[in-house]
Amino acid sequence: MVKQMPLYIKVNDRDNVAIVANAGGLTKGTRFPCGLTLMEDIPQGHKVALADFREGDPIVRYGEVIGYAQKRIQKGEWVKESSIRLPHPPDLHQLPIATKTPVALPPLEGYTFQGYRNADGSFGTRNLLPESVIKTRSKLPRKLDQSTKYCTRGSSPNR
């Protein structure tokens, strides 16, 4: 059996946690190429501490504070929900429409997609469901047929 290279996902340079990406998770003692060693088994999709945390330290993911350490967490430990105190949510009515201006990206050139141009200059794509995909043992084919008749005839079959 070939051993997989241990992988984690770190989105932002400021992140102090990452997500274990290996199918089935990783076991205690696993060492990443960067030198990080897991202190315990961590399931796939769960957070691993990339730094030591003291109680109250901010936990950063996506470059944003997602919570605060409820207890001491060592580098390489599983950062469980029970070890994170969530920040107090802001009043949604007080939030500004946008809090950050995104960095301008260079224009995409030379890329295409299988779509079409509308008369107004906008673009669209076709959403076609092949009959072989929608034939199931469920009521879906009948419902799709009813919906199609409703759209073409203008009256609901449920009236």
Q: Domain residue spans in the chain?
A: 1-88, 127-153
Name the burial class of residue 15, with classes exposed (0-12), middle (13-18) and buried (19+) by CB atoms within 10 angstroms of its CB: buried
What per-residue confidence (pLDDT) applies to 46?
96
Higher pLDDT, 127 or 31: 31
- What are the CA-CA distances from residue 7 to residues 27, 34, 78, 138 (Å)? 12, 10, 15, 39
> What is the structure's pLDDT at 71?
97
Q: Read off the pLDDT of residues 34-88 as tens digits, 9 standing for 90 and up.
A: 999 999 999 999 999 999 999 999 999 999 999 999 999 999 999 999 999 998 8
User: Is 11's pLDDT higher than 50?
Assistant: yes
Question: Does residue 133 surpass a pLDDT of 70?
Answer: no
Backbone angles phi and psi of 88, in degrees to 5: -65, 125
Q: Residue 9's beta-bridge partner residues?
A: 19
State the pLDDT at residue 159.
43
Q: Which CATH architecture has domain 1-88?
A: Roll (2.30)
Tell me the pLDDT band of 121, cut-offs 50, 70 and 90. Answer: confident
Quick one: pLDDT at residue 138? 56
Task: Kindly tell me if the per-residue pLDDT of 106 is higher than 80.
Answer: yes
Contacts of 16 (CB under 8 A, 6+ apart): 49, 50, 51, 53, 58, 59, 60
